[in-house]
Amino acid sequence: MSNHNVDPNVLKAQMQSLEQLRQKTQSLVDCKATLLSKTEILDQKKSLLEETNSERQRLQREKKILREMLHNINQDMNSLLEAEQSLAKESEDLERSVKKLKHEQYEPLHDQVNEIRLQNGLTKLPHIQQELEARMAKILEDRRVKWQQEESESSASPTPKRRMTGRPGRS
């Protein structure tokens, strides 16, 4: 085939068509690469979103558990406060009763008994305060001995003893 038969306008049109094909093909390749890249990034973002959502749900469950625990602690504290107030009132009432009994009955009887004892040549009976002080001294001594024993046991053992919180049925 000779160059003479080829029309320069046809040749020019074919060249333009090929150039357009090359440009469009390059644009397609670039678009495809961008699409693949963005699809991969989208997949990563979706995966991160699922992980983040899962972590948020886990934290919400943990928060709910902690709120329930805090609620239980508050209930325990309120119960203890009520018990403390009740015990304080009972103690005050009992203390008043003890003082009244001591002043209105015990001391007059004690004085009468000691007077009769002296008239009969006997020694006076000790006052109840001496007995109470001796009893308290014994209690304090027993506590001191117990604490010293616990101290020596805990220093001899490699792990310290843990105290239970006294909250059964709660975790």
For 106-158, give the DSSP string: IHHHHHHHHHHHHHTTPPPPPPHHHHHHHHHHHHHHHHHHHHHHHHHHHHHSS
Give the model confidence (pLDDT) of 1-29 as tens digits: 455 678 999 999 999 999 999 999 999 99
Residue 72, number of CB atoms within 10 A of its CB: 14
Exposure class string for 16-34: b at 16+ Cβ within 10 A, else e: eeeeeeeeeeeeeeeeeee
Give the separation between CA 11 and CA 4, rounded to whole angstroms.
12
Tell me the longest C-alpha to C-alpha distance in the chain: 165
Q: What average pLDDT score do residues 103-125 get?
A: 94
Q: What is the pLDDT of residue 6?
A: 81
Copy the structure tokens of residue 159: 């792990």
Whole-number percent of the chain with pLDDT over 90: 78
Q: How confident is the model at residue 146 (pLDDT cuts 50, 70, 90)?
A: very high
Tracing tokens 């003890």 back to the chain, one arrives at 98
Backbone dihedral angles phi then psi of residue 158, each to the nearest 5 degrees: -70, -25
pTM metric for this prediction: 0.48
Q: How confident is the model at residue 129 (pLDDT cuts 50, 70, 90)?
A: confident
Q: How confident is the model at residue 33 (pLDDT cuts 50, 70, 90)?
A: very high
Give the model confidence (pLDDT) of 82-93 as tens digits: 999 999 999 999
Q: What is the pLDDT of residue 3?
A: 53
Copy the structure tokens of residue 20: 């357009």
Backbone dihedral angles phi then psi of residue 61, each to the nearest 5 degrees: -65, -45
Give the separation between CA 31 and CA 153, rounded to whole angstroms.
77
Q: What is the pLDDT of residue 121?
A: 94
Q: What is the pLDDT of residue 163?
A: 47
Give the separation between CA 21 and CA 24, rounded to whole angstroms.
5
Q: How confident is the model at residue 158 (pLDDT cuts 50, 70, 90)?
A: low
Q: How confident is the model at residue 152 (pLDDT cuts 50, 70, 90)?
A: confident
Q: Does residue 166 surpass a pLDDT of 50?
A: no
Q: How confident is the model at residue 171 (pLDDT cuts 50, 70, 90)?
A: very low
Nearest Cα neighbor of 53 from 31, 68, 139, 61 is 61
